Amino acid sequence: MTAFASGWARRPVLVVAWLVVLVAIGWAVAPHLFTSYSPFTGDPSASFAPPGAEHWFGTDRLGRDLFARSVYGARTTLTATLLAVLIAFGLGAVVGLIAGFAGGLADTAIMRVVDVFLAIPSLLLAMVVVSVLGYSTNNIALAVGISSIASFARVMRAQVLTVVNQDYVKAAYGLGVGRLGVMTRHVVPNSLSAVIALAALEVGTGVLAVASLGFLGYGAPPPQPEWGLLVAEGRDYVAVHPYASILPGLALAAVVIATHRISTSFRKENHR
């Protein structure tokens, strides 16, 4: 067994986490490869069929296959999550870079605004934003991204403050390199590692936030499948048909836990 394979063999939980994430990505990219059922149409005579060989997750009140709706729902939820993380990463990194590199009054003013955003629960802030913008999956992505900007800005600023005090940065100034050159050549490349690790962590948090807003009715309208909406649709029948909410919820929980486990491994590697 090679050193690479033996390394993975010693971390079976991480291997399972990667498999879960890869399956979820497969659901989002090519859902038709995982199920032959339509997520929109069903057989009313098969309403609330229990899980079995024909319907792995059972069916809902309209006879629609819940596994198919979970598979197709991955595209909606994961696309919104990816967009939210990209928004938070891009804007948060720029805000943190400006605050840390400019320093002085600009740094103080920017970080006070960031502190205000950090004081507001992210889900509450996302609900306010999506209420203003309107209910849709794209607006959920934007709302979740905006609510996470402050976390990225704070991490980026801390990294920038560490880098600008390094000897090689001072040496670059001594050699006549301008502030823009120092920022692009030295500060930004050496400040992004922790922010990238945070982005990996925020994927799991973003999935949960997007699903939570979908559960509350802020996301894609029915019959569009979305993980939070699937859990919400089955909650009225949970006492009689618990699988209608539990099984889509377990798929959601598995992806969130897997992404958090992978991000934890990234953070450990980053601190070595």
Measured between alpha carbons, how far is 59 from 42 in angstroms, rounded to an integer?
Answer: 8
Domain assignment present for 234: yes
Can you give the pLDDT of all 272 residues of the chain as single tens digits?
A: 454 455 555 678 889 999 999 999 999 999 999 999 999 998 998 999 999 999 999 999 999 999 999 999 999 999 999 999 999 999 999 999 999 988 889 999 999 999 999 998 888 999 998 988 888 888 999 999 999 999 999 999 999 999 888 888 888 888 888 888 888 888 888 888 889 888 888 899 999 999 999 999 888 788 889 999 999 999 989 999 999 999 999 999 999 999 988 888 876 665 55
**Do the Cβ atoms of 82 and 28 come closer than 8 Å?**
no
The per-residue pLDDT for 26 is 96
Q: What CATH number did the domain enclosing 61 receive?
A: 1.10.3720.10
Residue 46 inside a domain? The answer is: no
DSSP-derived secondary structure letter, 166:
S
- Return the pLDDT at 11: 77
Domain carrying residue 154: 10-29+55-253+260-270
Listed residue (230, 227, 229) closest to 252, CA to CA: 227
Specify the 3-state DSSP secondary structure of 65.
strand
Is residue 34 a part of any domain in this protein?
A: no
Specify the pLDDT at position 4. Answer: 43
Is there a domain that residue 111 lies in?
A: yes
Q: Does residue 36 lie within any of the structural domains?
A: no
Does residue 139 lie within any of the structural domains? yes
Number of domains the chain contains? 1
